[in-house]
Amino acid sequence: MTTLPASNSGAWRGVSAPIYPTAAQWADSVANVAVTIGSLSLNQPNSHARLIISVPSGTTQLVAWIGNTLISGVFSFDGSVGVYVDGVYNTSWANPSTLAASVVQPFYLTLDGSAHTVELWAGYQQLGSTPLTFLGTQVYAVQGAGISLVTPPSAIRRTVFYGDSICEGGASSPNQRDCYLARLRGIAPAGMAISQEGAGARALWDDSGTGSGQQGFASQALLASRLVALVAGATTREVVMVIGYNDINGHRWANDGAFAAAWGTALDAIHSADSGVHIYGVSMIDAAIDFASVRTLMAAEAATRTGFCTYVDGTTLMASSGLSGDGTHPTSNGHQALALGTGPDAGTSSFKAMLGI
């Protein structure tokens, strides 16, 4: 792999050799498309994937070289990397919008000299202009005296959420602390891993063909393969479908019935890829547009697949007061309601209750 460019050189190059993470060293991820920033080739993991770093006693500073192909976007956290120290959220690093997309930038974490486990969380991602180009953040290299990358832990239960910007934590801030995935990780029992296959602006339509404007997987079978790969190896394997807002609001299908039918065939594709996966089919949360008729159609599709799919009415997960001003994306309190069923915007259920954790 290309070494750090001269334009980013400095004192850190003389302290410790940089470690270049491979795709396999990211927890809660699978190999994604490689991205190029300037002359550098970077591994872009799934959003909210974790790079786990063991920091020995005596090391007081860690540096991460971060690139960003999502320089400016709808939300303030676009392009950020979250930092956890010993399981507790610490800060987030975001490349400034003034930074050219061809530059990787160093970020520094000061520690107290005790041994620590540091996690770097990949952040929000957005669909690019061509298929399977997910714009977002990449950790190019890390440096620190005596540090090492920890092999992603095994899990007996793996759960992946598949969705759009709501799934990504849109309008929660800081994203890697407040989004519902982060909150669920915070209460997950030992041996449970939660991952995400999401992107802002994503629709099931994007992952259902190769027509003009479709930016995801070329078929639902390929989508299913990706989702199954994210839960592979666990005894309990679960896929949570939280997709559909952009399908309906973006008028991607001929009518609501066509979307619901495609949603049903996506359930079948996942089941065909791994019959041991249980699917939670979650309909849209309350929003500024009315999804009532679509929810009815989705429930009917799930009702014919009860052996491997549980339908979840999205309106039970959060009160509409949990939406941000755009009428679409939940606030931090909204994400608390979705994940835990607590706070001022709590509904009558939650992802915690759904998953039984």
* pLDDT means over runs of 10, the chain (357 residues): 46 68 91 69 86 97 86 58 96 69 80 97 86 83 94 96 94 92 97 95 95 92 96 97 95 96 98 98 91 96 98 97 94 97 98 98
Output the pLDDT for position 80.
Answer: 83
Residue identified by tokens 């339509």 is 205
Q: Rounded to an integer, what distance in angstroms lies between the CA atom of residue 48 and that of residue 36? A: 20
Output the pLDDT for position 2.
Answer: 45
Output the pLDDT for position 73.
Answer: 54
Comparing CA positions, the residue from 177, 120, 123, 172 lying closest to residue 147 is 120
Cα 111 vs. chain centroid, distance in angstroms? 27
Q: Rounded to an integer, what distance in angstroms lies between the CA atom of residue 231 and that of residue 222? A: 15
User: Please, what is the average pLDDT of the chain?
Assistant: 89
Architecture of domain 157-355: 3-Layer(aba) Sandwich (3.40)
pLDDT in tens, 138-163: 888 999 999 999 999 999 999 999 99
Task: Choose the CATH number for 6-149 among 3.10.105.10, 2.60.120.260, 3.40.50.2300, 1.10.630.10.
Answer: 2.60.120.260
Comparing CA positions, the residue from 174, 334, 337, 338 lying closest to residue 242 is 338
Residue 195 contacts residue 28 (beta carbons within 8 Å): yes
Same fold, 6-149 and 157-355: no
DSSP string, 141-209: EEE-TT-EEPPPPP-SEEEEEEESHHHHTTT-SSHHHHSHHHHHHHHPPTTEEEEEEE-BT--GGGGS-
Helix (H, G, I), strand (E, B) or coil at 247: helix
Comparing CA positions, the residue from 329, 217, 234, 344 lying closest to residue 278 is 234
Residue identified by tokens 């953040």 is 137
Q: How far apart are the first and last CA of the chain?
A: 41
pLDDT in tens, 295-348: 999 999 999 999 999 999 999 999 999 999 999 999 999 999 999 999 999 999
Domain ranges of the chain: 6-149, 157-355
Output the pLDDT for position 6.
Answer: 43
